[in-house]
Amino acid sequence: MLGSTVASDLFGRVNPIGKKIDVGGIRFTVTGVLKATGSSSSTFSDPDSIAVAPLPAVQETLTGYGALDQIIVQATGSDTVGAAEAEVTQILGQRHDTASSGTADFTVSSQASVQSAVSESSRTFTVLLGAVAAISLLVGGIGITNIMLVTVTERTREIGIRKAIGAPRGAILGQFIAEATVLSLTGGLLGVLAGVLGSLFTIAGVKPVLVPSSIVLALAVSVAIGLFFGSYPANRAAKLRPIDALRHN
C-alpha cells in the first residue's frame, strides 16, 4: 500500500495497482493506494508519504526479525483517541507482563499529548525570547539616555546661546527628543535590515518567514524607545539657565 504522495511521485497519473516497485533490492507488488489526508507532522510520519507492507514480509526481506521500536496506531476518530491509547497500553501491558515487574518497558503517546508538549515548549520559548527582547530594549534605551546626556553636556554653550537669543523651552526640548528618536529609529532600521537579510537564508533546514506587521511593530517600538528614553536628557537641556550654560567650558 502506497501513500498518495508516494504513488504520485512514482507513477504520476498511471494507476499503480498491480505495478512492481523496488525497495532495498526487493520487489514488492502495489496492492492499493491510501486515501490522501493532506496532513503532515514533524513528530509522526506523514501518511501521504509512506509505504505499508505486511510485517512478516518486511521482516523476512528487509529488516530481519529483531524487536520493533515503534508501532503507530490510528484511532477511528478524534473522540476515541483517549480510549485507543488506553486500549493499546492495556494490550502492551499484558504482553510485556508489566503487572509482575511493576514497570513498563514501553511508552504510549498520542499526537494530542505531543502537540500539548510542543505548545508548552513554544510558550516557554516565547516567554524567554520576550524576556531577552525586553532586556535588550532596556539596555538600548539606557544607552540612548547616556549618549544624549553626553550630547547635552558637549552642547551646553550652544543651548545657552540659543536660549539667550530667545529660543523657547519647547524648541530645545523638541530638538533633543527628535535627535534621540532619530538615533533609536536608526538602530531599529539596522535591526530590520539584518532581519530581512537573515530571512533570505535557510537556517537549520527552516526558511524564515518575514511578517510585514513585525517590521512596522519594530519601527514603532524604536520610536517609542527614543521618545521615552530621550525625554530626560531633552528635559534637562530645556531646563538649563542661559547664564549657567554660557559659563560652561
In angstroms, the CA 135 to CA 141 distance is 10
In angstroms, the CA 150 to CA 14 distance is 76
pLDDT digits (tens, 9 = 90+) for 103-152: 777 888 887 777 788 888 989 999 999 999 999 999 999 999 999 999 99
Residues 180 and 61 in one domain: no
- DSSP conformational letter for 3: -
Which domain-ending residue is among 50, 74, 101?
Answer: 101
pLDDT digits (tens, 9 = 90+) for 15-55: 989 999 888 788 889 999 988 876 655 445 677 888 888 88
Task: Tell me what pLDDT residue 200 has.
Answer: 85
Mean pLDDT of 174-195: 93
Residues 143 and 170 in one domain: yes
Residues 65 and 137 in one domain: no
> Which residues, 6+ apart, have CB-to-CB distance to 188 below 8 Å?
218, 219, 221, 222, 223
Residues 8 and 61 in one domain: yes
Mutual orientation of helices 169-198 and 156-164 as an angle, nearest 10°?
140
Domain count for the chain: 2
- Quick one: pLDDT band at residue 70, thresholds 50, 70, 90? confident
In angstroms, the CA 15 to CA 18 distance is 8
Mean pLDDT of 186-199: 90
For residue 12, tell me if it sits in a domain. Answer: yes
Are 184 and 146 contacting, i.e. CB atoms less than 8 angstroms apart?
Answer: no
Which domain-ending residue is among 101, 133, 168?
Answer: 101
Q: Tell me the DSSP string of 40-66.
A: --SSS--GGG-B---HHHHIIIII-S-
Residues 49 and 67 in one domain: yes
Residues 84 and 121 in one domain: no
pLDDT digits (tens, 9 = 90+) for 193-244: 998 888 888 877 777 888 889 899 999 999 999 999 999 999 999 988 888 8
In angstroms, the CA 34 to CA 105 distance is 32
Residues 127 and 180 in one domain: yes
Task: Tell me what pLDDT residue 44 has.
Answer: 53
Residues 137 and 92 in one domain: no
Which domain-ending residue is among 101, 128, 148?
Answer: 101
For residue 131, tell me if it sits in a domain. Answer: yes
Residues 74 and 117 in one domain: no
Residues 143 and 228 in one domain: yes
- State the residue range of the domain holding 185: 111-247
